[in-house]
Amino acid sequence: MNNCSSLEFIGDSAFERCTVRAISLTESGVRSTGKGAFQYCRRLGSFTIPDVVETVSDNTFLNCEERGHIYFPDSLKSIGKYAFDGCLNLTEVELPDVVTSSLGERAFGYCRNLKSISVPASVNYIGENAFMDCLSLTIRCSKGSYAESYAVKNKIDHKTK
């Protein structure tokens, strides 16, 4: 996508099932995406989330199987339900230190190769089954944080810092 500096919103299912391999919206004004904006884009391996995005909506990257790495901007506050569910090649996630507040239900469900996620102490809500079927996952979190109690309650390996 070129010359999209005035683009502020990507609508619901706008790129659903597209076959593009990479999208960069770093030069755009995109602040948010609609539900399922990129769902089922199975070949989408690279996507840079713009620095002004505060929310990754429900189902945004659902079943984008090639997703290997995600850069999250410091502006991010929440990740919706099923946002990255089924991103089979996602291996590591590092959320911004201070601004992320919630992870929706099954946000990273069925990310079977996800080995590590760093969850900041500022996260005060993690939805049910947020890491469903992430078989080798270790949650890196702060001692006494919501993420630690979630990991203990759900019997997920975790390491505190």
CA pair distance 133, 55, nearest whole angstrom? 24
Residue 4's pLDDT is 63
d(CA 149, CA 39): 31
Q: List pLDDT tens digits, range 18-63.
A: 998 888 777 677 888 899 999 999 988 877 788 888 889 999 999 9
Higher-confidence residue of 98 and 124: namely 124
121, 142 Cβ separation under 8 angstroms: yes
Q: Considering the entire predicted model, what is its pTM?
A: 0.90
Torsions phi, psi for 134 (to 5 deg): -90, 90
The yes-or-no verdict on residue 2 having pLDDT over 60 is no
Residue 114 has φ and ψ, to the nearest 5°, of -70, 115
98 pLDDT more than 60: yes
Question: What values do phi and psi take at 46, rounded to 5?
Answer: -130, 125
Encoded tokens for 24: 């960069």
How many other β-carbons are positioned within 10 Å of the β-carbon of residue 129? 18
So what's the pLDDT on residue 66?
A: 79
- Reported confidence tier of residue 94, pLDDT bands at 50, 70, 90: confident
Integer Cα distance of 33 and 12 in angstroms: 7
pLDDT at 84: 95
Q: Are 119 and 95 in contact (CB under 8 A)?
A: yes
Contact call for residues 39 and 16 (beta carbons, < 8 A): yes
| Cα separation, 147 vs 160, whole angstroms | 10
Q: Cα(149)–Cα(26) distance, rounded to whole angstroms? A: 35
Burial class of residue 154 in the structure, from the number of CB atoms within 10 Å of its CB (0-12 exposed, 13-18 middle, 19+ buried): middle
